[in-house]
Copies of this chain bind each other. A is one copy, B any other.
Amino acid sequence: MPRFFVNKQQITETAVTIEKPDSVHIGRSLRMRIGDEIIVCCEGTEYVCSIGSISDESVICNIISSEISRNEPNVNVTLFQAVPKGDKLDTIVQKAVELGVTKICPVLTSRCVARPDRKSFEKKLERLNRIALEAAKQSGRGIVPQVTELISFEEAADMLAENDFPIICYECGGINLSQAGLKADSSIGIFIGSEGGFEKSEVELCVSKGAVATGLGNRILRCETAPLAALSIVMNLTGNM
């Protein structure tokens, strides 16, 4: 069944108003008709709805039933991702959303080859959030994970430390993710480096703030493979995969 995401303001007790461009998509691309059923998601709740009216401007849907999304993991995972070269961040965002990430924070670390400033990154951000939305629809998420603005290494280190389980994946080793004691119903932060990995001093700073350095095996993973491996393992260890 097609899945759409809306804001709280678009929902009343009994109905949901879907606006452009989704309304156009429903009427023209999907050629849906009055009475057809769709799923509307809002902040982790899924509403099964029946379409009551369709125009290019809006689609009004009558709520048939609602439930907390069963597809959302029981952990809140933030991926702090050092910005890689080219369009690798597109792939990382798409796959991370499928794998159940809650938020993605692009970070500028010392070994980032691509060094956009916050301003020029804003254009990219719009595309990244569009990719996150599409991946959320496609994979059946109950929320749309947000890609935040570009943050500095220091900001990332502080935000990472706010998680119940702050983890930095270090190519020069650390404990195994299985040994990190991850638990369901917790917040987990995962910090992944760019092509060149992390400076030792960066890892030390994160560890001094409470993070745990973990390795991802002896093989050298590309910077777009590492976050997907780490997320898969974290979701498995917490019973979400």
- Residues of A near any B CB (own CB < 8 A): 70-71, 73, 94-95, 98-100, 138-141, 176-178, 216-222, 225, 228-230, 232-233, 235-237, 239-241
- Chain B residues, CB < 8 A from A100: 217, 219
Interchain residue pairs A-B with the least CB separation, the first 4? A217-B241, A229-B232, A232-B232, A71-B218
A98-B221, A140-B220 known; 16 other A-B pairs, CB under 8 Å?
A: A70-B218, A95-B228, A98-B219, A98-B220, A99-B219, A138-B222, A139-B220, A139-B222, A176-B241, A216-B241, A217-B240, A217-B241, A225-B228, A228-B228, A232-B233, A233-B241
- Interface class of chain A by DSSP: loop
What is the bound-complex CA distance between A140 and B241, given in angstroms?
28
- Chain B residues, CB < 8 A from A219: 71, 98-100, 139-141
**Closest chain B CB from A181 CB (angstroms):** 14
A222 and B177 contacting across the interface, CB-CB below 8 Å? no
A235 and B217 contacting across the interface, CB-CB below 8 Å? yes
- Chain B residues, CB < 8 A from A70: 218
Nearest CB to that of A177 among chain B residues? B236
What is the bound-complex CA distance between A70 and B240, given in angstroms?
31
- Chain B residues, CB < 8 A from A233: 232-233, 236, 241
**Closest chain B CB from A82 CB (angstroms):** 18
**Given known A-B contacts A176-B239, A216-B241, A241-B216, A228 and B232 have beta carbons under 8 A apart:** yes
What is the bound-complex CA distance between A73 and B216, given in angstroms?
12
| Partner of A221 from B99, B221, B229 at Cβ < 8 Å | B99
